[in-house]
Structure 1
Amino acid sequence: MTEDTRAVIPGSLPAAGRGAPAPGPAGRLPGDGRGRVLVARLDDVGDVLLAGPAVRAVRAHAREVTMLAGPNGRPAAELLPGVDRVIEWRAPWIDHRPPPVSAESVTELVRLVRGTDEAVILTSFHQSALPLAMLLRLAGVRRIAAISEDYPGSLLDVRHLVDESRDVPEAERMLDLARAAGFVLPAGDDGRLAVRRPLPDAGRFGIGGGDYVVVHPGASAPARTWPAGRARQAVRELAADGHRVVVTGTERALTAHVAGGAALDLGGRTTLAELAAVIDGAAVLVAGNTGPAHLAAAVGTPVVSLFAPVVPAARWAPYGVPSVLLGDQDAPCRGSRARVCPVPGHPCLTRVISEEVVKAVRELSQ
């Protein structure tokens, strides 16, 4: 019979080990020889990084943790402390470019996860855990936990119910599910985001010593992107204000335009681990609501966040690090989850001027 639990979510950064573990089937508690546990987060880099505290809670009690990630999130999964193995699988109900559902793909996933004892399925509030739960049942997974508003029948053993009208930080929401499944953070773990260390040596990029500011102008969705012209102007003004500036990203034409001779352009030159190292050495990161903002949180670098309100900042703003949020959070696109801005002129971010960014960088780098 499915065990229903209700969220008791802390209102701020969770203390290590906060909350009593929820009993599993037959009253089982953490520390009773939990075996191979699968933790699933099937979307993007930032989503996977925010799952880090939940992953560490699971690893504190499991013999082995496998992370099931999509192709976009796999590089982040490989950076998470507590992950022993990563399985990549593109979910047709989550991926931005969903593949067709096929018997071959389903069979492959069932084969890859067979031998798993338990699973914790991590999802956002607008995603369903039930399709994956069904496939994991076919693979013989004996105990499955997830947040589910929909009736799960026999698909879940731990159905965690959350009041989604409250915009709780995503990292805390996922950690709360882990706690409900009987996995709590070990003593001394502060519940912040983290990456595996040591990180690669960023010296090969010629950044040199001393403070610098990283500007990351791109984002996976156009609705979350600050206009390139504004980013280029901000780079020039940051340089004029005495900052060394490094521009990062995967789109080389964009980073070259934004750097414009006033900054070191690393566009297309870094792996995710190397990008983490570059951001780790920075005084401040300037970025939109995109994976590198969460990467900065994971290495402890303050963030000037150019945040489009298509998703709630309370859930998705940089977690656990000093940050300044720029952008109109009451714009008409608020809560739309749009990937392309539905409002002519993209006003939530186009109205943010470069002087505001320079001021925010000064504030965070003092």
Structure 2
Amino acid sequence: MRRVLVVRLDGAGDVLLAGPAVRAVAATARVTLLVGPAGAEAARLLPGVDEVLIWSCPWIAADPPPVDRGGLDDLVDTLAAAGFAEAVVLTSFHQSPLPTALVLRMAGIPRITGASVDYPGSLLDVRLRPGETLSEDQPEPERMVAIAGRPLPAGDDGGLAVRAAEWAGPAVDVVVHPGAAVPARRWPARHAAEAVRLLAAQGLCTAVTGSADERARTAAVAGDHALDLGGRTSLAELAGVIAGASAIVVGNTAAAHLAAAVGTPVVSLFAPVVPAVRWRPYRVPHVLLGDQAAPCRDSRARECPVPGHPCLTSVTPADVVAAVGAVGALARSGREVPV
């Protein structure tokens, strides 16, 4: 089969959302996925990925490295040696594929596809125009399938999917994931700790999860009422923990998309700094909490620009505990899942 390079240079959540597009390409080609360091672990969980290449991109990463000619030359040489027949550059609405396309063109890739508002010249062979040939008011997985320009394989419903690891620890009823790489998307830790206490009072076994960098937060939230798994799971193992739970409480971060991939209902503490229509939990029962009309709406802010972070601090622990019950009822009802 011919080799196709699929590019998604963001964090783990964005890479997980690219899964359906990857599977669409993989139906007729061997897929190499080019990702940033923050997306590498997620990339290895996606069905359809044959190989993962890692590159920290100076025009995509939130904490970008300097542009280094030697590093660019190394990447160009690596891509040129691979002999890709085609590349598909997956981006969100606020990103341009053109700098990446220039690198791919220098590597001799003969056919490049991307979505670009700006005139691409000879950098793109297939250009989708946002707002014209590409709708922006759609979930990110669907946007990326549209960019890939291929149908999903027969029997593929277009949902998220990962290769999850079996969780060998104690059975968990509810997962609380209090962290997020972007501070503006975090529910206050004191609220999360009280929610954990209330869940424990209902007899629910709760696990608090997070990365190794979030151990102080997960320990504070878990207290004496929950299992603290901060920094104790790989991403695949985290997917296994979530898969065994009846619900997860989480912000707009990668763990929410892991939950969607394994079919676990989500209580989504969604800060409106980005549009919910694009990044809310995809094709899984969920309850969306947070003031979606707050002044920070659509600002893409990493730090909340409004004193007191009201869009999420206004959500109380009691609200979340009630939503855990509601999302379970939604899942049991069989009603149409919000997308």
TM-score range, shorter chain: over 0.9
Name the structure 2 match of 1:50: 17
Q: Post-superposition shift, 1:113? A: 1.4
Give deviations 1:66-109, integer Å, cap 9, x for gaps: 00000001111000000000000000001011111111110111
Name the structure 1 match of 2:26: 59
Q: Considering Cα pairs closer than 8 Å and 6+ residues apart, tell me whether 1 or 2 has the greater RCO.
A: 1
Distance 2:135 2:220 in 1: 41
Give deviations 1:296-334, integer Å, cap 9, x for gaps: 001111100000000000000000100000000000000
Distance 1:162 1:201 in 2: 40
Name the structure 2 match of 1:167: 137
Preserved contact between residue 98 and residue 120 of structure 2 (Cα < 8 Å) = yes
Question: Does residue 136 of the first structure (1) align with residue 99 of the second (2)?
Answer: no
Name the structure 1 match of 2:228: 265
- For structure 2, the residue ranges without an aligned partner over 5 or more in a row are 330-339
Q: Post-superposition shift, 1:165? A: 7.4
Q: Aligned to 1:96, which of 62, 68, 74? A: 62
Q: Post-superposition shift, 1:242? A: 2.3
- For structure 1, the residue ranges without an aligned partner over 5 or more in a row are 1-32
Preserved contact between residue 251 and residue 270 of structure 2 (Cα < 8 Å) = yes
Question: Does residue 120 of the first structure (1) align with residue 88 of the second (2)?
Answer: yes
Higher normalized helix content (fraction of residues)? 2
Preserved contact between residue 67 and residue 77 of structure 1 (Cα < 8 Å) = yes
Name the structure 1 match of 2:4: 37
RMSD value, Cα: 1.1
Q: Post-superposition shift, 1:125? A: 0.5
Q: Aligned to 1:85, which of 51, 68, 75? A: 51
Q: Post-superposition shift, 1:184? A: 1.5
Preserved contact between residue 306 and residue 327 of structure 1 (Cα < 8 Å) = yes
Name the structure 2 match of 1:201: 166
One-letter code aligned to 1:279: I
Give deviations 1:138-161, integer Å, cap 9, x for gaps: 100000000011000000000011
Name the structure 2 match of 1:228: 189
Name the structure 2 match of 1:108: 74
Q: Post-superposition shift, 1:201? A: 2.4
Name the structure 1 match of 2:336: none
One-letter code aligned to 1:238: L
One-letter code aligned to 1:219: A
How many residue pairs align between the two structures?
Answer: 323
Name the structure 2 match of 1:308: 271
Q: Post-superposition shift, 1:162? A: 2.3
Name the structure 1 match of 2:334: none
One-letter code aligned to 1:117: A
Q: Post-superposition shift, 1:166? A: 4.2
Distance 2:320 2:224 in 1: 19
Distance 2:216 2:125 in 1: 49
Give deviations 1:95-136, integer Å, cap 9, x for gaps: 011111111110111122121110000001000100010000
Preserved contact between residue 87 and residue 112 of structure 1 (Cα < 8 Å) = no
Name the structure 2 match of 1:325: 288
One-letter code aligned to 2:166: D
Query: Could you say what secondary structure the match of 1:140 adopts?
Result: coil
TM-score (norm 1): 0.87
Question: Does residue 74 of the first structure (1) align with residue 40 of the second (2)?
Answer: yes
Q: Post-superposition shift, 1:61? A: 1.0
Identity rate, percent: 64
Q: Post-superposition shift, 1:363? A: 1.3
One-letter code aligned to 1:97: D
Question: Does residue 238 of the first structure (1) align with residue 199 of the second (2)?
Answer: yes
TM-score (norm 2): 0.93
Query: Could you say what secondary structure the match of 2:5 adopts?
Result: strand
Deviating above 3 A after TM superposition, structure 1's stretches of 4 or more consecutive aligned residues are none
Query: Could you say what secondary structure the match of 1:84 adopts?
Result: strand
Query: Could you say what secondary structure the match of 1:79 adopts?
Result: coil
